[in-house]
Structure 1
Amino acid sequence: MNYELITAPLIGAAIGTITNGIAIRMLFRPWKPVYIGKLKLPFTPGLIPKEKPRIARSIAEVIGNNLLDDATIRKTLLSDDIKTKITTALNQKIDSLSESSETLSELLDTKGFMAVVDDKEKALKDTAGTSIAKKMIDMNVASSLLDFAEEELANNSNPLISGFAPKAISSARESLIKKINDLITEKAPSLISGLIDKEYEKLKDKPVGESVNYLKEKFPDYEEKLWTIYSGFIGKYLTTLLKGFNISGIVEQKINEFELPELEKLIMDIARKELNALVALGGLLGFLMGFLNGFLG
């Protein structure tokens, strides 16, 4: 019996399996250069530790330029699936809030926003009155009021009023405009500030559910408008945002931050099946070479 026909394939299979296993292992190990005296051993560190920065850069470029590029992200963010998810999420939130008996102040306080909103209301109250008063003067509200008064008085059924009052207003027009503007400048800011305060206090004490129920009824009418606003924002700013995010740079930095044992585990978890197949293939080829060598010998 020719035992070489049995032993040669087995030895070949063992050699093929072991060498491929070592080759795969040498992709990762050793993690650091190995020296004998001042002589650095070849193939140390392993290929992946040695080329880690280049590999990180190459993977990052593929992801940033091909997988998560502007067109792909834009298409995803504007897809019907995303539209459905956004609409569903908003509807669910509105449904949840519509059943709430909390007041707006209680809700904001729970979320930690009450102080911020109070500050914003105070800032609005302090500036809105003066701003609106100035706008009223710029829009010649005083002149419009006098025009209205002249017209109404001219149409008055009393001949004395209709004949005299419009002329009196016309003759004193410039003086009246100045007085009205002075009155707007003096009184409007405090009146508007008080109105804002009053409405804000009413809104704070109103149950959230009442306000949201109104929004809930109107929401279907605003769905497309909201989507148009969202789509416009994505269309206008996505490219700028992606440049700011620098996806390639983030991926490269993250890969470089991986410790080598962690990176090895990550790659092995992803490609374990394929790498094991390479080891098995080495064993199979070794077995065939051993068999042919024994058979031909």
Structure 2
Amino acid sequence: MNSGDIWLILSMALIGALIGGITNYLAIKMLFKPHRAIYIGKWRVPFTPGLIPKRRSDLARSLGKTVVDHLLTPKGMQARLVDEGFQWKVNSWAKREVFRFLRSERTLRQLLLDFNVAVDTDILHQKTAELLKTQLEKQAERELGSLLPEELKEKTEAAADRAAMHIQQMLAAYVDSYDGRRKIQELVQSFLQGRGFLGSMLSSFMDPSSAVDKIQPVIIESVGSEGTRRWLQQLLASELNKLMSKTVGDVTETIGPETVDEAIQQVVRKSIPFDELLDTPIQVYTKDIQDHVIEEKLTMLVGRVLQRLSEQVPVIMEQLELSKMVEKEVSGFPLERVEELVLAISNKEFKLITYLGFLLGGIIGIVQGVIALFI
């Protein structure tokens, strides 16, 4: 084999290597480029656009189906949700966020402002009063007694007994006092003066002071007697029964609607301090809740929520239509970005394919050169 033969084989090997390498390089580039079809007049240049741009919709549809069938499957998602490690992470995050909220210095007003909810306490009081008034109007035909629970009725009756005893004690103490004595004396004098000649005659024989000395003990004994106490109890019980038998509407009408409305508003304003409630830090409301209680309840709640969520995964994934979501996202993805992602992942392999083209082309060129020598 002379030098001419060697140069023939080398030249053919070089040409084959160039053809193989350049062909593979162009094939790789044609996967992505051109991004759009190229026309010469009305004639579309073959192999334009590139393979991926041309089959983009098919690629998106296939990728969406692959994701749902093999990657994000319901069974896989269910297994992940009930995994102990995942539950521990969710539980740790939930405890951290809950404790941060419960021990916060922020007030309820500030919390509501975070959600763009401005609170006007005057409006709150007004709405609360209107709600109570509406409920009162709905109960207009009911008797007061029917609105009270049995326990409260028993307490009311016991309170009437105590009130009767208290009134009796007050009356006895008043009659026995200096003011009571003076009042009795005034009544005696008024009685005698109102009887004309007979009263004047009795006054000449009876000293009002001595009459009071005799009358006062009798009144005290009468007021403090058991009979008086039973009479007061019966009187209060009778009046209480009359009141309980009246309807809400009757009581409202007796008091006056305007008076009732005003009373409701005053009670609401005094009994519900909305300003104080809204400006109190959250931690004040939660300070009595023990940390271990929160942890136990929260751990149980997280477990139940994740378990319930895992049971609903098939339905949720069906409603989400993940395959269509992936298809839509891939279809709207810029081709330049797709090319960058693929090259970033497979650039090394693409280079090896190009080098392999050079190698195979060179080997084929050498084989062709040897065959040419024999021919």
- Aligned residue pairs total 293
**Counterparts of 1:196 and 1:233, CA distance in 2:** 42
**Is there any run of 5+ residues in structure 1 with no aligned partner, and where?**
none
Which residue identity does 1:75 align to in structure 2? A
* Cα shift at 1:26: 1.2
8 Å contact 2:144–2:245 — kept in the other structure? no
The aligned runs of 1:45-194 (5 Å cut-off) are 45-97=49-101, 100-109=104-113, 111-115=114-118, 125=128, 129=132, 142-143=145-146, 145=148, 147-148=150-151, 175-176=245-246, 178-179=247-248, 194=269
After superposition, the Cα gap between the structure-2 partners of 1:234 and 1:256, relative to the gap in structure 1 and judged at 3 Å, is same
TM-score under structure 2 normalisation?
0.60
**Counterparts of 2:149 and 2:294, CA distance in 1:** 42
The aligned residue for residue 275 of structure 1 is: 350
**Is there any run of 5+ residues in structure 2 with no aligned partner, and where?**
163-225, 253-259
| Selected match of 1:249 from 324, 328, 331 | 324
Which residue identity does 2:17 align to in structure 1? A
Q: Within the alignment, does 1:208 sit opposite 2:282 as a pair?
A: yes
8 Å contact 1:128–1:192 — kept in the other structure? no
Q: Within the alignment, does 1:44 sit opposite 2:119 as a pair?
A: no
Higher Cα Rg, which structure? 2
* Cα shift at 1:143: 3.7
Q: Within the alignment, does 1:26 sit opposite 2:43 as a pair?
A: no
Q: Within the alignment, does 1:266 sit opposite 2:341 as a pair?
A: yes
**Counterparts of 2:338 and 2:105, CA distance in 1:** 51
**Counterparts of 1:123 and 1:242, CA distance in 2:** 46
* Cα shift at 1:129: 4.1
After superposition, the Cα gap between the structure-2 partners of 1:257 and 1:147, relative to the gap in structure 1 and judged at 3 Å, is closer
Q: Secondary structure at the match of 2:360?
A: helix
**Counterparts of 1:117 and 1:248, CA distance in 2:** 48
**Counterparts of 2:136 and 2:27, CA distance in 1:** 81
**Counterparts of 1:20 and 1:119, CA distance in 2:** 79
**Counterparts of 2:309 and 2:122, CA distance in 1:** 31
After superposition, the Cα gap between the structure-2 partners of 1:75 and 1:52, relative to the gap in structure 1 and judged at 3 Å, is same
* Cα shift at 1:73: 2.8
**How far does the alpha carbon of each residue in 1:133-186 deviate from its partner, in whole angstroms, 9 at most, with x for none?**
79999xx994473644675659x899959x979x969x979935x449977xx7
| Selected match of 2:361 from 286, 290, 293 | 286
**Counterparts of 1:244 and 1:22, CA distance in 2:** 43
* Cα shift at 1:27: 1.4
* Cα shift at 1:68: 1.8
The aligned residue for residue 220 of structure 1 is: 295
Q: State the superposition RMSD in angstroms.
A: 4.5
TM-score under structure 1 normalisation?
0.72
**Counterparts of 2:87 and 2:120, CA distance in 1:** 30
The aligned residue for residue 234 of structure 1 is: 309
